[in-house]
Amino acid sequence: MRTSARSGKNSGSNPLLLVLDSNEYVFAFGFVKNTASEELLEFLIENLPVHDIRIVRTIVEEVNSKLSPEQTKEFFAFINAFTSVDEKWVVPFDLGEKYLAFLKKGDAAIAAYTEFVGAQALVSENRKHFHTHKGRFPFVVWDAATCLKELKKLS
Protein backbone atom coordinates (compact mmCIF):
# COMPACT_ATOMS: atom_id res chain seq x y z
CA MET A 1 0.00 0.00 0.00
CA ARG A 2 1.33 3.42 -0.93
CA THR A 3 0.80 6.20 1.55
CA SER A 4 2.76 9.01 -0.07
CA ALA A 5 -0.02 10.39 -2.27
CA ARG A 6 -1.73 13.23 -0.46
CA SER A 7 -4.24 15.09 -2.55
CA GLY A 8 -5.65 17.36 0.12
CA LYS A 9 -8.88 17.75 -1.81
CA ASN A 10 -12.11 18.34 -0.02
CA SER A 11 -15.16 17.49 -2.05
CA GLY A 12 -17.44 19.37 0.30
CA SER A 13 -18.98 16.14 1.55
CA ASN A 14 -20.06 15.57 5.11
CA PRO A 15 -16.96 14.45 6.96
CA LEU A 16 -17.16 11.36 9.14
CA LEU A 17 -15.17 10.59 12.23
CA LEU A 18 -14.07 6.97 12.01
CA VAL A 19 -12.39 4.51 14.35
CA LEU A 20 -10.73 1.61 12.54
CA ASP A 21 -10.20 -1.62 14.45
CA SER A 22 -6.70 -3.09 14.40
CA ASN A 23 -7.68 -5.76 11.88
CA GLU A 24 -8.28 -3.12 9.19
CA TYR A 25 -4.70 -1.90 9.47
CA VAL A 26 -3.27 -5.43 9.65
CA PHE A 27 -5.24 -6.49 6.55
CA ALA A 28 -4.13 -3.38 4.65
CA PHE A 29 -0.44 -3.35 5.63
CA GLY A 30 0.32 -6.93 6.71
CA PHE A 31 1.13 -10.12 4.84
CA VAL A 32 -2.46 -11.41 4.83
CA LYS A 33 -4.40 -8.93 2.71
CA ASN A 34 -8.04 -7.97 2.56
CA THR A 35 -8.69 -6.06 -0.65
CA ALA A 36 -11.50 -4.03 0.90
CA SER A 37 -9.27 -2.90 3.79
CA GLU A 38 -6.54 -1.85 1.36
CA GLU A 39 -9.01 0.00 -0.87
CA LEU A 40 -10.57 1.77 2.11
CA LEU A 41 -7.24 3.11 3.33
CA GLU A 42 -6.26 4.13 -0.22
CA PHE A 43 -9.57 5.96 -0.58
CA LEU A 44 -9.01 7.79 2.71
CA ILE A 45 -5.52 8.87 1.59
CA GLU A 46 -6.79 10.02 -1.81
CA ASN A 47 -9.56 12.06 -0.18
CA LEU A 48 -7.59 13.79 2.56
CA PRO A 49 -8.70 15.74 4.57
CA VAL A 50 -12.38 14.92 4.09
CA HIS A 51 -12.75 12.30 6.84
CA ASP A 52 -11.09 12.00 10.23
CA ILE A 53 -9.67 8.94 11.94
CA ARG A 54 -9.07 8.52 15.66
CA ILE A 55 -6.66 5.87 16.90
CA VAL A 56 -5.73 4.90 20.41
CA ARG A 57 -2.31 3.66 21.54
CA THR A 58 -3.59 0.12 22.26
CA ILE A 59 -4.61 -0.27 18.60
CA VAL A 60 -1.20 1.00 17.47
CA GLU A 61 0.54 -1.51 19.73
CA GLU A 62 -1.61 -4.40 18.53
CA VAL A 63 -1.03 -3.54 14.87
CA ASN A 64 2.70 -3.00 15.43
CA SER A 65 3.01 -6.48 16.97
CA LYS A 66 1.59 -8.04 13.80
CA LEU A 67 3.63 -6.18 11.17
CA SER A 68 7.19 -6.38 9.93
CA PRO A 69 9.43 -3.33 10.46
CA GLU A 70 8.87 -2.21 6.86
CA GLN A 71 5.10 -2.64 7.14
CA THR A 72 5.17 -0.73 10.43
CA LYS A 73 6.80 2.23 8.65
CA GLU A 74 3.97 2.27 6.10
CA PHE A 75 1.40 2.04 8.89
CA PHE A 76 2.91 5.01 10.73
CA ALA A 77 3.08 7.03 7.52
CA PHE A 78 -0.64 6.45 7.08
CA ILE A 79 -1.43 7.38 10.69
CA ASN A 80 0.73 10.51 10.52
CA ALA A 81 -1.17 11.63 7.41
CA PHE A 82 -4.47 11.64 9.32
CA THR A 83 -4.12 12.06 13.01
CA SER A 84 -2.02 11.70 16.09
CA VAL A 85 -2.22 8.74 18.40
CA ASP A 86 -4.40 9.20 21.45
CA GLU A 87 -1.80 8.36 24.07
CA LYS A 88 -3.86 8.85 27.16
CA TRP A 89 -7.53 8.37 26.96
CA VAL A 90 -9.78 7.96 29.90
CA VAL A 91 -13.09 6.42 29.00
CA PRO A 92 -15.62 6.53 31.82
CA PHE A 93 -15.76 3.20 33.65
CA ASP A 94 -19.51 2.76 33.18
CA LEU A 95 -19.14 3.18 29.42
CA GLY A 96 -16.67 0.29 29.28
CA GLU A 97 -18.83 -1.79 31.60
CA LYS A 98 -21.83 -1.30 29.32
CA TYR A 99 -20.00 -3.05 26.49
CA LEU A 100 -18.48 -5.76 28.68
CA ALA A 101 -22.00 -7.10 29.11
CA PHE A 102 -21.86 -8.53 25.57
CA LEU A 103 -18.31 -8.07 24.21
CA LYS A 104 -14.97 -9.48 25.23
CA LYS A 105 -12.58 -7.07 26.96
CA GLY A 106 -10.61 -5.80 23.93
CA ASP A 107 -13.74 -5.33 21.82
CA ALA A 108 -15.52 -3.59 24.71
CA ALA A 109 -12.59 -1.18 25.02
CA ILE A 110 -12.64 -0.21 21.34
CA ALA A 111 -16.44 0.17 21.36
CA ALA A 112 -16.26 2.38 24.45
CA TYR A 113 -13.46 4.43 22.86
CA THR A 114 -15.50 4.82 19.66
CA GLU A 115 -18.48 6.12 21.59
CA PHE A 116 -16.33 8.31 23.86
CA VAL A 117 -14.63 10.16 20.98
CA GLY A 118 -17.98 10.66 19.25
CA ALA A 119 -17.15 8.68 16.11
CA GLN A 120 -19.98 8.01 13.72
CA ALA A 121 -18.56 4.63 12.67
CA LEU A 122 -16.42 1.76 13.86
CA VAL A 123 -14.85 -0.16 11.00
CA SER A 124 -14.01 -3.78 11.78
CA GLU A 125 -13.95 -7.18 10.15
CA ASN A 126 -14.86 -8.72 13.50
CA ARG A 127 -18.18 -10.21 12.44
CA LYS A 128 -18.49 -12.57 15.38
CA HIS A 129 -18.63 -9.83 17.97
CA PHE A 130 -19.31 -6.37 16.60
CA HIS A 131 -21.50 -7.30 13.66
CA THR A 132 -23.80 -9.56 15.66
CA HIS A 133 -24.53 -6.65 18.03
CA LYS A 134 -24.76 -3.79 15.51
CA GLY A 135 -28.00 -2.39 16.93
CA ARG A 136 -26.54 -1.97 20.42
CA PHE A 137 -24.14 0.86 19.55
CA PRO A 138 -24.70 4.63 19.17
CA PHE A 139 -22.51 4.45 16.06
CA VAL A 140 -22.65 2.31 12.96
CA VAL A 141 -20.46 -0.76 12.63
CA TRP A 142 -19.21 -1.39 9.13
CA ASP A 143 -16.76 -3.77 7.57
CA ALA A 144 -14.24 -2.18 5.20
CA ALA A 145 -16.27 -2.88 2.06
CA THR A 146 -19.41 -1.29 3.50
CA CYS A 147 -17.47 1.68 4.82
CA LEU A 148 -15.88 2.27 1.43
CA LYS A 149 -19.28 2.10 -0.25
CA GLU A 150 -20.76 4.57 2.25
CA LEU A 151 -17.83 7.00 1.93
CA LYS A 152 -18.11 6.94 -1.85
CA LYS A 153 -21.81 7.85 -1.56
CA LEU A 154 -20.79 10.93 0.44
CA SER A 155 -18.18 12.00 -2.11
Which tens digits make up the pLDDT trace of 12-24?
457 999 999 999 9
Averaged pLDDT for residues 116-135: 88
Task: Say whether pLDDT at 88 is over 60.
Answer: yes
pLDDT of 116 reads: 94
Which tens digits make up the pLDDT trace of 61-78?
999 999 999 999 999 999
Using CA atoms, how far apart are residues 87 and 136, in angstroms rounded to an integer? 27
In 3D space, the residue among 104, 142, 93, 94 whose CA is nearest the CA of residue 121 turns out to be 142
Averaged pLDDT for residues 45-71: 93
| Confidence tier at 11 by pLDDT (50, 70, 90) | very low
pTM for the structure as a whole: 0.88
pLDDT of 5 reads: 33
Is the Cβ–Cβ distance between 136 and 117 less than 8 Å? no
